[in-house]
Amino acid sequence: MLSNIEMVPPVVIFVVDLSSDMDTPCDGSTSGDSCLSDVKQAIQSVTRHFDNAQYGVVGTASVAGSDAYYPIAPVGSSYPEIAAALTSVTSHGTTRNLAEVLEDLGESYLKQSTTADEVDNDGDGMTGDWSETPIGYSCTEVHLVVLTKDRPTDDDQVSFSYAMASSASTAEVACTAGGSGSPDAQCFYDNVVAHLYNSDLSSLVHTVGLNVAAGSIGENLFVNASSNTAGDGTYDNVDTGDEILGSILNVVAEISAGTYTRSSPVLSADGSHLIYTFFELTGINPLAQGHVRDYRLDIDPASPTYGEVLYEGPSAYGGAVWDAGDLLVSRPVEASEDNPEDRDGVGKRDIYTWEDGAASLGGLAADRASGRLGFDYEFARTVGASASVGTSPCAANSSYDLDGDCIVDGDDLQSMIDFARGLPTAQFRFIDLTLAEAYPAAGSRGSWKLGDSPYSIPVVVTSRNDMYAVDPTYRAFLTDLEGRQVPGIVLIAANDGMLHAFRLEDDTSTPTDDEAGEELWAWIPGYLLLRDKDEEWAGSLIDLMWYGRTFLFDGSPVVEDVWIDEDADGRKSPDGPVTLALDITDPTSPEFLWEQTNTVDTTAMGMTTGRPTVFNVYDATIPSRARDQWVAMWGGGRAVGYTGDSGNDYWRSTEANLYMWNVGDDWRGTESAGYSREGDNVGTEFPDLATTPGAVNYGGGADRLEYAYISSALAVVDVDGDGDGDVAYFPVTTAYRPTDEGGLGPTDAESPGSSWIYKAIINTRDPDDLTWCKFYDPMTGTDGTNGVAARPEVFYSATTSWLRDGGLGVYWGTGTPYDRSSGRAGYFFALKDAEPLVSLQEKG
């Protein structure tokens, strides 16, 4: 079900009007940000939040008389490259040669034949080059998004084949420099759009007018250009700079429309349930539509269909027994509602969160005692009453003024809560859907509630677990769960900002209702509610109202029976630095344990794309109190291509850190965390030996080296069979291409970077101070000559198995979802570690 658009990302080139008309506000006023400033900000927002396309940016000609485009950022540029390139872009003159620019793109840029590589050949600081083709495959879709203040000017050097392209419309627009009229000398825009649409490349032009006057030559020309593409190329006209982002997002949503799946299907412990996820981008609603389906499998060995999917469910679910996304649509939502606090999968939803500041308020004392705060009217009323009301001029806080009353207060918090809970009439902040005729409720979120989960792998939680099969207290715990008929659940994180718990099977005690597949509860990390974060790049729940679909909470949950406590660790991925832990001893009654991030150095964190690994560690930090302790352990996350308002380059400051946290820690202080919030850094074992430590020290100190990250989950191994984790295997990736691979080193960001495989040995006297060592360098191999002459990024975790000779087999493959169109070769490696508990330094 993977769309060709996902396999081959579309090319989107923004064409920006750089005439001096762009120096004034889009709405025609004399105060406020310039139209060009608003356009640049909108382009940055789109390229930052939507990774499903390859973006480029050009402008109109820099000098009068030129018929060329003005190069800004070539296709394939990363968000930080585009943001940096836009910083220096200014207007120049009165030229608005839109048709000439489109022809120049079609003839000189889109027809380049040199294959793109990862070398900055022209030295402009961007990996892509204008002399390389932006089109990697014959099926690549090309979209040109023109943002312009008015009709073209100085736009008469258009070749005959483009100027005379047949128009699909009878309303051909012709104009001279002075106004409407023939012969056509300045209004070739609609003809050029028709030529590009009907050419072999079939490039589609979309036009965003920036307060273009109604009934003007410009409006007629742009409307006709859309008609020349049979409406496939859109025309939208915005009145103010705030509306530019929404207009572009409408185009991006249409481009991205399709059905996608990336997550792996999973089986329940007894093999009778297969849980499968996918999501849809409709091209109409800016939010994605997530689906979680349960297919039943035949587990009767005597059956002729043993092991096969039974397809017992309705055809609307593709034969699945239930689809959680479809079922969630029918759950009623009212404005300013409270949780029903029954978590039974019937009627209104139960949605929870935990934020320390809110939990300290007296009005939420009852919620605090239960270990969860309802994300509802009571929360909005209590938190809103204690919050400072924004008194700045209306425009200063306009993004957060969600109800349009020019005051930022508790009512705006309520608007966000209503939107998150799924109120169909809740409004997007900037996105106007009036052009989407198929969408009847223009501007509102609609009734679909479940977001997409492109990376999150669902987890099936049941009481039938044999982790401590012979321990009598654990068996008593399982017997109690079964006696209370605690239901099985399916946990999955989604980009609606929630960890969802869906009931696996029907509750037989309620014959009039079918609860299978219904949401029992959902949980929003408190971090998503914060307006101001030290991690400037991280997403927030309000982003859904600003941008539509974005990445908020898409990590894979990890569930472990921790003696008699069951713990669910969820990750924010790939747009956040937080790990969340909940106690789900009773799967219908979640309780908050902790949220953890690096609060010592917030610039060190990356996008936490790797799930945490939960295991037992023997902690002899205090020898007289040595004991086994359950911990969660994870890498700091993938480097973020973002430069914050503070001037910090996050791709430089990201650290290859390992974080360990005591699973038993909780908000009540029941058990001290005991481990460093700063994490354990790779330090002197930094992978790239061709560079000096000073070159990869962006500000963390000599013992906190940066420019590297850990994106995958850890493979933790119990070497001596005592039930405790002893050593972990994982990739460490530089945020740049090293010079011995032909790169420019730490001065030039690269995504994907270069990966080495490491192991870290756990020291029982100080468990979160590990012994790091480089396990394998694919560039040089095991003897300096048998490598593969490259270090392709390793995004996914390694796996291990014991060999007959007592050695440990370590297996991993290369590849990353952040570089889906790369032509680089991929590899699968298998290595033996004869002495897992011995570092390479000790071996000499």
Model confidence pLDDT, tens digit, residues 803-826: 999 999 999 999 887 776 666 789
CA distance 141 to 12: 8
* Two tokens, residue 618: 């023997």
SS (H, E, C) 250-280: HHHHHHHCEEECCCCCEECCCCCEEEEEEEE
**Residue 687 carries which DSSP code?**
S
The pTM of the whole model exceeds 0.75:
yes
pLDDT at position 724: 92
User: What stretch(es) of the chain map to CATH 3.40.50.410?
Assistant: 4-256
Residue positions counted in the chain? 844
Residues 6+ apart with CB under 8 A from 801: 808, 809, 811
**Residue 203 carries which DSSP code?**
-
Q: Find out whether 265 and 492 touch, Cβ atoms under 8 Å.
A: no
Give the closest residue to 737 by CA, choosing from 727, 745, 729.
Answer: 745
Query: For the chain (length 844 residues), average pLDDT per consecutive 10?
Result: 54 97 91 92 86 90 92 90 90 95 96 82 80 87 96 93 74 87 91 92 93 94 92 90 85 78 82 92 85 95 92 92 96 96 95 95 93 96 84 71 85 95 90 50 80 87 54 49 71 92 91 89 92 79 86 65 48 65 88 87 83 88 84 87 76 91 79 76 91 86 87 94 94 93 86 92 92 94 88 93 96 84 82 90 48
Amino acid at 163: A
What is 4-256's CATH superfamily? von Willebrand factor, type A domain (3.40.50.410)
Q: Find out whether 807 and 830 touch, Cβ atoms under 8 Å.
A: no
Give the closest residue to 110 by CA, choosing from 67, 144, 61, 152.
Answer: 144
Q: In what order do the strands lie in the sheet with 828-833?
A: 799-802, 808-813, 828-833
Amino acid at 395: A
* Two tokens, residue 795: 């995004």
Residues 6+ apart with CB under 8 A from 763: 769, 770, 771
